[in-house]
Chain A
Amino acid sequence: MKRYDVIVIGAGPAGLAAACEAYKNGAKKVLVVERDKEPGGILNQCIHNGFGLHYFKEELTGPEYAGRFIDLLKNTSAELLLDTMVLEVTGHKEVRLMNPRDGYFVVQADAIILTMGCRERTRGAIGIPGARPAGIFTAGAAQRYVNIEGYMVGKKVVILGSGDIGLIMARRMTLEGAQVVACVELMPYSNGLNRNIVQCLDDYNIPLYLSHTITEIKGNRRVEGVIVSEVDNHGKPLPGTEQFFDCDTVLLSVGLIPENELSKEAGIKLDPRTKGPVVYENMETSIPGIFACGNVVHVHDLVDFVTAESQRAGAAAARFCKQANAPQNSGESIITIENGDNVGYTVPQHVRTDRITKYVEVFFRVKRVYQDSMIEVTSGGQVLSTFRREHMAPGEMEHIVVPKQFLEQALDSKIVVSVREAEVK
């Protein structure tokens, strides 16, 4: 059986950054496995610009951002296996895979980095009633058809959900000659970035219906229209508010779910809030030596943050290989980070204080839109630290930097991150 220091599963932005960083930190035998015929992952179909402002301090398109890391990887001795499907990852860090050239084979790693990304929620996941004609796509599938395969998916489009992919596709379909009649959002706010509302909807006079949803899809062979209804505070359609939109295509941009079949089978502990692996400060999962980063852990808005997270995982995996034969330190103090009021989840979920030098960065999402509010880090009812924010929204991942000294003050090995709205003036 062939043996590697580090095996990375997936050559999207997370996998590429993790592999480069593992190599840079001393892992010499690195293997990256990708099921597609080219590296780059979802960035290949994200042909719009706006990537890299944080990391490269310039505005790149998706393929350009991926290209930078593909070039970096080429300058390492890492092996890249394309068109290869990983069937199973075992808890003993065996990877079982297959491809058309080599058939089925098994490789062994000292450390594994899981970077399988996420996938889109579908019509089935949200249960839209009505007929089941052709013309209903997830926004990302449509994006692949249009931008990579070169097929237009429709002429008159309604988009359900106002996440970034939906907004980007509203503009893309318009530029390619389709008419986007409406973008319909269940929540009273958009989950997309503000800039995308402006440059994808407002620029092309596409109306955004907040607190609305599709309550029926009509059509026999092809979509012929949708019925859109207003919803109340609980997301329940209000009778009497139905309106008909004539369209031949429905695009769904209704959320992303981390893709963790391999993680589950390996016996890695998952977090029901993120639907990704529970991770420590260095992106290590519940199985020592198996790391995870990027959208497989929690869905990010910006690839720049995926890169940063993946570099931490890559460096940690390389470090793990070096220490593989060192005795395990079982008496480590582990702090659990919990989400308190108005916070949906935190990543990481656990911190080993001895393994951080100065601070730990904690990422999370808030449950609704907040103006002028306070993020509080508490332990046993005591406030350890507060952070002020002028604006927070569920669509924008938040992060705070918690110094090590605060973690050392934690009672019962537990800290809580919560959000408190400032008093209304």
Chain B
Amino acid sequence: MKQLICIVCPKGCHLNVDEQNAYAVTGNSCPRGAEYGKKELTHPTRVITSTVRIKGGNHSRCPVKTDRDIPKELILKAMELLNDVELLSPVQQGTVILSNILGTDASFIVTKDM
């Protein structure tokens, strides 16, 4: 039995995950918690948020995020990909700047109109 704190929402439920029993989750208050508990112990993933360079905008950095969660072990490598990106204003929220991040089906997208 493994104890986890759910990170799906700010509530932070205390989960118990039974590895011996198909990763059955208790202590969750919603279905997303059950899914998180299983995933966290089998193949943990995270959404990454960061910034990239932008020219011609109000500021010199434009915020971005992955449009879905990616395997945790790819986080630092994915961050490196952003070093070479430079956008030119105007950009719209939702614009894809990098797709198929490291062979996953996730993309980096812009999170602010700039």
Give the interface of A toward B (CB within 8 A): 37-38, 44, 47-50, 53, 59, 61-64, 67, 146-150, 175-176, 193-195, 197-199, 203, 301-302
Q: Which residue of A lies closest to B7 (CB)?
A: A195
Check B111–A175 contact: CB distance below 8 A. no
Smallest distance from the beta carbon of A153 to chain B beta carbons, Å? 14
Contact yes or no, A150 B10, CB < 8 A: no
Q: CB < 8 Å: which of A53, A63, A149 contacts B10? A: A53
- Is there an interface contact between B10 and A175, defined as CB atoms closer than 8 Å? no
**B102 contacts A by Cβ under 8 Å:** no
Since A49-B49, A61-B63, A195-B9 are in contact, a sample of 16 more A-B pairs with Cβ atoms closer than 8 Å, ordered by chain A residue number, is A44-B112, A47-B65, A47-B111, A61-B111, A63-B93, A63-B112, A67-B93, A146-B51, A149-B59, A150-B53, A150-B60, A150-B61, A194-B7, A195-B6, A203-B72, A301-B10
Q: Out of A53, A67, A150, A199, name the residue touching B46 (CB < 8 Å).
A: A199
Is B5 a contact partner of A197 (Cβ separation < 8 A)? yes
A-contact 0/1 string along B54-74, CB 8 Å cutoff: 000011110101000000100
Cβ contact within 8 Å between A149 and B5:
no
Residues in B with CB closer than 8 Å to A63 are: 63, 93, 111-112
Return chain A residues, CB-CB under 8 Å to B12: 193-195
B interface residues, how many (CB within 8 angstroms): 29
Number of A-B contacts (CB under 8 A): 77
Q: Which are the 6 A-B pairs with shortest beta-carbon distances?
A: A194-B12, A63-B112, A195-B7, A47-B63, A150-B60, A150-B61
> Which B residues are CB-close (under 8 A) to A198?
4-5, 7
Q: Is the CB of B111 within 8 A of A64?
A: yes
Question: A50 contacts which chain B residues (CB < 8 A)?
Answer: 9-10
Q: How far is the CA of A176 from the CA of B50 in the complex (A)?
A: 9
Chain B 1-26, CB-CB to A under 8 Å as 1, else 0, gives 00011111110100000000000000
Shortest CB distance B61–A (Å): 4
B81 within 8 A of A: no
Q: Which chain B residues lie closer than 8 Å to A195 at the CB level?
A: 5-10, 12
Chain A residues closer than 8 Å to B6, beta-carbon distance: 195
Decide if B105 is an interface residue (CB 8 Å cutoff).
no
B61–A64 contact, CB under 8 A? Answer: no
Could you jot down 7 A-B contacts, CB within 8 Å? Answer: A47-B51, A48-B49, A61-B49, A67-B112, A146-B51, A147-B51, A198-B7
Q: B97 interface residue, CB < 8 Å from A?
A: no
Residues on B close to A: CB < 8 A?
4-10, 12, 46-51, 53, 58-61, 63, 65, 72, 75-76, 79, 93, 111-113
Contact in complex: A193, B48 (CB < 8 Å): no
Of A47, A62, A146, A301, which is in contact with the most chain B CB atoms at under 10 Å from its CB?
A47
For A64, list chain B residues within 8 Å (CB): 93, 111-112
Q: Looking at the complex, which one of A61, A149, A175, A199 makes contact with B60 (CB distance below 8 Å)?
A: A149
Name, among B47, B111, B113, the residue most crowded by chain A CB atoms within 10 Å (CB to CB).
B111
* Alpha-carbon distance A38/B61, docked complex (angstroms): 14
Closest to A53 in B: B9
- List residues of chain A with CB within 8 A of the CB of B111: 47, 61, 63-64, 67
A300 to chain B, nearest CB (A): 11
Closest A residue to B10 by beta carbon equals A193
Name which residue of chain B comes closest to A51, CB basis: B10
Contacts of A193 in B (CB 8 A): 10, 12
